[in-house]
């Protein structure tokens, strides 16, 4: 039986494993070890499969290097286990790329791992996703997620992402501490396809309501009343973000006035006993930046002068990230009509300047 080892580009691994939380590392090498996981071996639980593999491969630990003999041995053992079940299939392994540790990952995502899966044929698909203990207010949103799952290729390695979607759907209806856990059921065979039901066990908790909500506009808008931007008021059913368009509006404002690293906080503080949520929006402005050098590519000297005039910034000015972001809109009908532009800002964190490269190209 053919066995397949695949090296996949980082973008695909990120999608498959949903490998997006900040991880501080210099990057993995070919000899770095990874854990391993199983995507669609639906006849066994994860624990059962690991136990079976360690019986057949006594030296097998909980991690090994990409492209190692142990990776090959696991593919071989998985193929034999399937054959013992009467399933003839190709087993493949998808490896994280070498620089995976330098990438950004969603905090809830599992650690990057070598993923073993059964390549089609046979097709192994989601039959239906059944909801257990779903709160009535959230059922519509949860059913939409369940409907999207039906008929998809079965991949338990992506369950965490669906669980997060369900958690978010319940949070939007006030269940801010809700959780969902997915478990695959027993497959049924239909022709050359296997259909696997999934159960979603939901712990909703209490439905929260807004206790208090306030916002501080930071140093540029100190004391300003920002309540007109709020989408909720005390007594309303709570949601993850009651601040409406405030974040986007303030980001643009701070970018315009030299704060490209501005961040915001405003997660609710929960009173679990009273099922109340209190919100306090804060601006974390970061450092004030000025424009350093400006490098313009693919324009003549005369055109470069026109480009700088259109940009409206010169070296030493407060760095207006909003103006840079919107710069391409100024080109239509200007002396540079027919061009478009991309930009690359490079921040100097010590000098608090931004060196800007503008790359022009014909539309």
Last residue within a domain, chosen from 203, 235, 256 = 203
Looking at the structure of the chain, the number of domains it has is 4
| pLDDT of res. 20 | 31
Last residue within a domain, chosen from 119, 144, 161 = 119
Instruction: Using DSSP bridges, classify how beta strands 113-119 and 33-38 pair: parallel, antiparallel or unpaired.
Output: parallel
Are 13 and 82 found together in one domain?
yes
Are 111 and 9 found together in one domain?
yes
Are 254 and 177 found together in one domain?
no
Last residue within a domain, chosen from 83, 101, 119 = 119
Are 64 and 100 found together in one domain?
yes
- CATH number, domain containing residue 184: 3.10.20.310
**Gap between the Cα atoms of 276 and 237, Å rounded:** 9
Are 272 and 324 found together in one domain?
no
79 backbone dihedrals φ, ψ, rounded to 5°: -60, -40
Are 102 and 141 found together in one domain?
no
**Gap between the Cα atoms of 255 and 325, Å rounded:** 10
Mean pLDDT of the chain: 90
- CATH number, domain containing residue 60: 3.10.20
| pLDDT of res. 275 | 98
Model confidence pLDDT, tens digit, residues 121-146? 899 999 999 999 999 999 999 999 99
Are 310 and 351 found together in one domain?
yes
Is 283 within 8 Å of 224 (Cβ atoms)? Answer: no
Are 56 and 90 found together in one domain?
yes
Are 358 and 263 found together in one domain?
no
pTM value > 0.85: no
Low-confidence ranges of the chain (pLDDT < 70): 1-31, 98, 102
Structural domain range at position 356: 290-362
Are 13 and 113 found together in one domain?
yes
Are 147 and 218 found together in one domain?
no
| pLDDT of res. 103 | 74
| pLDDT of res. 326 | 95
Are 174 and 194 found together in one domain?
yes
């Amino acid at each position: 039986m053919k066995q397949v080892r695949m090296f996949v580009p980082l973008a695909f691994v990120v999608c498959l494993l949903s490998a997006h939380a900040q991880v501080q590392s210099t990057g993995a090498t070919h000899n770095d070890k990874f854990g391993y996981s199983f995507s669609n071996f639906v006849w066994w639980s994860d624990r059962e499969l690991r136990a079976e593999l360690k019986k057949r491969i006594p030296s097998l630990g909980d991690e090994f290097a990409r492209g190692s003999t142990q990776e090959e041995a696991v593919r071989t053992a998985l193929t034999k286990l399937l054959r013992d079940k009467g399933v003839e299939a190709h087993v493949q392994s998808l490896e994280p790329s070498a620089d995976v540790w330098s990438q950004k990952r969603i905090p809830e995502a599992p650690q990057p791992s070598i993923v073993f899966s059964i390549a089609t044929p046979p097709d192994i698909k989601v039959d239906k996703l059944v909801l257990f203990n779903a709160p009535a207010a959230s059922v519509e949103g949860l059913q939409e997620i369940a409907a999207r799952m039906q008929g998809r290729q079965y991949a338990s390695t992506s369950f965490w992402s669906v669980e997060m979607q369900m958690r978010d759907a319940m949070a939007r209806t006030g269940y801010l501490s809700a959780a969902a856990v997915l478990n695959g059921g027993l497959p049924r065979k239909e022709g050359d396809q296997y259909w696997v039901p999934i159960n979603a066990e939901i712990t909703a908790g209490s439905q929260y309501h807004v206790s208090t909500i306030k916002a501080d506009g930071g140093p540029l808008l100190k004391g300003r009343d920002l309540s007109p931007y709020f989408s909720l008021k005390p007594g309303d059913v709570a949601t993850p973000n009651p601040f409406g368009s405030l974040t986007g509006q303030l980001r643009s404002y701070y970018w315009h006035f030299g704060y490209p690293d501005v961040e915001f906080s405003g997660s609710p503080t929960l009173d679990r006993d009273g099922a109340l949520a209190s919100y306090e929006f804060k601006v974390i402005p970061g450092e004030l930046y000025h424009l350093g050098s400006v490098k313009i590519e693919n324009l003549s000297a005369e055109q470069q002068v026109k480009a700088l005039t259109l940009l409206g910034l010169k070296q030493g000015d407060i760095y207006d990230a909003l103006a840079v972001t919107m710069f391409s809109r100024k080109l239509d009908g200007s002396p540079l009509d027919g061009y478009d532009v991309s930009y690359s800002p490079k921040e100097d964190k010590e000098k608090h300047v931004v060196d800007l490269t503008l790359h022009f190209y014909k539309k």
